[in-house]
């Protein structure tokens, strides 16, 4: 779950924080075998439980959408427009 207080997951009946992402998270999508997270500090790829920043850390990202024609391509909505 993406929240202003970070990324969380539901484990049975518990809500567990993803400790690698404690920044504001706005959007989640799955593409190319990974979970992608739009945050206030860029886009992160989560693969095998590890988060990796894949854009500049000062990029304020709000939304993510995979391309319909090329699913490994992500469109990123930022505070300045489409990136």
Residues 32-45 pLDDT 10s: 899 999 999 999 99
Does the pTM surpass 0.85? The reply is: yes
Nearest C-alpha neighbor of 52 from the set 41, 64, 67, 62: 41
Strands in 81-82's sheet, in edge-to-edge order, are 61-66, 74-78, 81-82
Residue 9's pLDDT band (cuts 50, 70, 90): very high
> Over the stretch 16-26, which tens digit does the pLDDT of each residue have?
999 999 999 99
pLDDT (mean) for 58-78:
93
């Amino acid at each position: 779950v993406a929240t202003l207080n970070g990324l969380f997951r539901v484990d049975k009946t518990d809500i567990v924080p993803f400790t690698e992402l404690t920044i504001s998270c706005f959007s989640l999508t799955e593409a190319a075998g990974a979970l992608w997270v739009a945050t206030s500090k860029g886009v992160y790829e989560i693969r095998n439980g590890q988060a990796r920043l894949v854009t500049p850390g000062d990029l304020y990202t709000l939304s993510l959408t995979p391309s319909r024609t090329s699913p490994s391509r992500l469109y990123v909505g930022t505070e300045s427009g489409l990136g």
